[in-house]
Structure formats: C-alpha cells, structure tokens
Amino acid sequence: MLRTRITEMLGIQYPLLQGGMQWLARAELVSAVSNAGGFGFLTALSCATAQELRDEIHKTRDMTDKPFGVNISMLPVLMPGDLTEAFVDLVCAEGIVAVETAGRNPEPYVPRLKEAGVRLFHKVPAVRYARKAEAVGADAVIVVGFECGGHPGMDDVPSLIVLPKASQELRIPVVAAGGFCDGRSLVAALALGAEAVLMGTRFMATKESPMHDNFKQWMVNAQETDTMIVERSIRNAARIMKNQASRTVARMESEGATLADLLPVIAGKVGREAYLSGDIDMGTIACGQVVGRIAEIKSVQETIEDIMNDARVSIERLACRMSD
Ligand SMILES: Cc1cc2nc3c(=O)[nH]c(=O)nc-3n(C[C@H](O)[C@H](O)[C@H](O)COP(=O)(O)O)c2cc1C
C-alpha cells in the first residue's frame, strides 16, 4: 500500500520519513522509525566530530537492520570549523543509503555522494531552491512549508502552496514537510503530488524522543498558536516553541541585537541543556504549528501504525464520496 518512487528508492514500507533534529534524532529514535517501516535521519549536528557520528551510525546499525540516513545541516555560508566535508566523507565510507542536506547548496558534495551511491535528499523552503536542487543533481527534494518546526525560510509560504507547485514543476520526487502528523495529512500530501512526508514535530513527541518529559507534556497541552518565528533579523527565520527564551530573542531583535548578541540565547548547546534538565523556558526549541494537533505521546511504532490506519480510512472515505 502507498508505494511511491521514494519508498522504492529507500527500500522502505511506508512513505514516512523522520527529519533531522539536533540532539533528538539519535540512534534510539532513528532506529525506532526505521524498524516501524519508515526512514529516520540521524543528525550529524548532534555530534562534535566525524568519529562521534561514526559511533552513532554503528549504534543505530546495532538497533536496526533496516535502512536509515544521515542529516547534514549546513550553515548558509561556509564558516571555519565546518564539518560538512568530514561528514560527507564519512557517510560515503559507511555506505549510508541517503543524506538529508539543508541550509545551503549541496552541489560541491554531489559527485562524491553519487560515486558512493548515497541518495541526496535536499531540504528547501521555496520552489526556486527546489528547482536548483534538481538542477545540481539531487535525487529528491524535501519542501518545507511555513508551518514547519525549524527553518521555514524567509518567504512565509505554507505547504499548501509550496508543495503542489514544486511537485508540478520537478521531475524528481518531492517529499512534503511542515505540518504533517497523521494519515489524513499524509493522504493530502500525496494528493498534492508528494511521494512521502517528512515529519519532525510529530516524532519529537514520541516515547523514544530523548528529551525530558516536561517538554513532552508541554507539547501535549500546546495549541497551534504556541509557536513563533524568531531570527528574521539575521535572515535565519526559525519556528520555535513560545517560551521565556523565545520572548527574550524577540525583544532583543526588536532592539537591534546582532548575531553575536543573540548567540548566548540561540546557541544549540543551550537547547541541549534544556532537553536534559527539563527547563522548558531555557533555550530556543524548534517546534512546528502541528504541535496543536498532537494530543498524546505514543511510541514510534504506534505513531506509524496509527498514521497508516488513518490514511487507509481517509482514502476509503474519499473513494466512497467519489462513488456516491
Ligand atoms: C526539535 C526540532 C529540531 C530540528 N532540527 C533540525 C536539524 O538539526 N536539521 C534540519 O535539517 N532540520 C531540523 N529540524 C526540521 C525537521 O527536520 C523538519 O524539516 C521539520 O520538523 C518538518 O516540519 P514539522 O515540524 O511540521 O514536521 C528540526 C525540527 C524540530 C522540530
């Protein structure tokens, strides 16, 4: 059921992908997604060195014999200490099935990935970047809508517009991201031309997600209005949960703060401390609007089973209406 070019390309049962999530998409979560028939991306950004990422890949392989990938998030411009080269070399050497890249043009890495047989899934927030990704040799494009947790780009265009437009224009398969959490939204994505959905926020709120329960409880209680966009002033818009830290960032930006001023609040390592300590007001924590549709913390297996059952019901309901 629901075979697409993406399920064929990745050798998976369901068109359900788990996107990169710094600190959270580690071996436990990624292996659970892949074991349940989806495809998880380990997040290189959670690792301080390529050696650490190699260990995490091996740990994941001990926990699943199913395929999984690696997310390599890049800063918009190459900075000193950038580990992208080392991460790309590692995924090629390790024979990883697919990488999810994001942040800047992956073109310099395409020849190496192709030679090693690693599929390139590039994640973009706008149709013009999707076209570019196809032109430089990506195997698939993940398009994120404005609803998404993390970086929605600077154009504020939601999934309902960016997804059908990208899938109509591109020849390579398109993966939908931003606002998906259940079977009915999966069916809607497929109807709009996607060949899989990629979710972050939904998998963030699962039993296997390695964050303090305080965050999971916050997510269960949160509404779709409980996220906000910050970091527009530094052209790195990010959708995050509303908390003390996000309000501080918004105030600092309105007062003209620079990147250097903001860093002590927005740095990734603050988020890591927050996840561990359970202090939900500490750190800027990525979270999508779809949090308002999440009512329960389930295991990854239950989450995926429920999505696929709900998808079947949605398809049957539509078929019934067609024949009425
Ligand atoms: C907590 C969290 C952390 C994330 N970290 C990353 C990351 O490190 N790299 C990346 O490319 N995307 C990251 N994302 C974005 C997701 O991979 C995905 O594109 C997004 O969550 C999809 O939208 P959704 O949240 O509505 O499902 C993160 C998202 C969340 C919710």
> Domain check: are 168 and 255 in the same one?
no
> Domain check: are 243 and 107 in the same one?
no
Residue 148, domain member (yes or no)? yes
Residue 30, domain member (yes or no)? yes
| Mean pLDDT of the 163-179 span | 98
Pocket perturbation via mutation, ligand 1, pick of 75, 122, 123, 148 by most ligand atoms within 8 A of CB: 148
Give the atom of ligand 1 at the shortest distance from the alpha carbon of 102. 11
Beta carbons of 177 and 143 less than 8 angstroms apart: yes
Residue 2, domain member (yes or no)? no
Q: Which whole-number Å values give the CA distances from 85 to 45, 50, 232, in the listed order?
A: 13, 10, 28
> Domain check: are 169 and 195 in the same one?
yes
Which amino acid type is present at position 205?
Answer: A
> Domain check: are 223 and 110 in the same one?
no
Q: Is the CB of 71 under 6 A from ligand 1?
A: yes
Residue 15 CA to ligand 1 centre (angstroms): 17
Q: Is the CB of 147 under 6 A from ligand 1?
A: yes
Residue 169, C-beta contacts closer than 8 angstroms, at least 6 positions apart: 127, 130, 131
pLDDT of 92: 98
Q: Categorize the per-residue pLDDT at 205 as very low, low, confident or very high, splitting at 50, 70 and 90.
A: very high
Q: What are phi and psi of 157, to 5 degrees?
A: -105, 125
- Chain centroid, CA 216 distance in Å: 18
> Domain check: are 206 and 224 in the same one?
no
Which amino acid type is present at position 65?
Answer: D
| Mean pLDDT of the 109-118 span | 98
pLDDT per position as a tens digit, 87-103: 999 999 999 999 999 99
Q: What is the pTM of this model?
A: 0.98
> Domain check: are 249 and 121 in the same one?
no
Parent domain of 247: 213-289
Residue matched to tokens 């190699």: 54
DSSP-based three-state secondary structure for 149:
coil
Q: What is the residue-averaged pLDDT of the chain?
A: 97
Q: Is the CB of 118 under 6 A from ligand 1?
A: no
pLDDT of 79: 86
Beta carbons of 266 and 243 less than 8 angstroms apart: no
Per DSSP, helices labelled H in the chain are 5-10, 27-35, 50-63, 84-94, 110-116, 127-136, 159-169, 183-191, 201-204, 213-221, 244-254, 259-266, 268-277, 300-323
> Domain check: are 203 and 222 in the same one?
no
Residue 113 CA to ligand 1 centre (angstroms): 23
Q: What percent of the chain has pLDDT over 70?
A: 99
Residue 324 in this model has a pLDDT that exceeds 70? no
| Mean pLDDT of the 300-314 span | 98
Looking at the structure of the chain, the number of domains it has is 2
> Domain check: are 81 and 221 in the same one?
no
Going by C-alpha positions, the residue among 230, 275, 290 that lies closest to residue 46 is 275
> Domain check: are 111 and 171 in the same one?
yes
Q: Categorize the per-residue pLDDT at 47 as very low, low, confident or very high, splitting at 50, 70 and 90.
A: very high
Residue 313, domain member (yes or no)? no
Residue 34 in this model has a pLDDT that exceeds 90? yes
> Domain check: are 231 and 85 in the same one?
no
What is the distance between the alpha carbons of residues 173 and 130, in angstroms, rounded to a whole number? 11
In DSSP terms, which residues pair with 230 in a beta bridge? 238
What is the distance between the alpha carbons of residues 132 and 144, in angstroms, rounded to a whole number? 15
pLDDT per position as a tens digit, 49-87: 999 999 999 999 999 999 999 999 999 888 889 999 999
Residue matched to tokens 């710094």: 22
Query: Domain of 73: which CATH number?
Result: 3.20.20.70
| Mean pLDDT of the 118-133 span | 98
Residue 140, domain member (yes or no)? yes
Residue 322, domain member (yes or no)? no
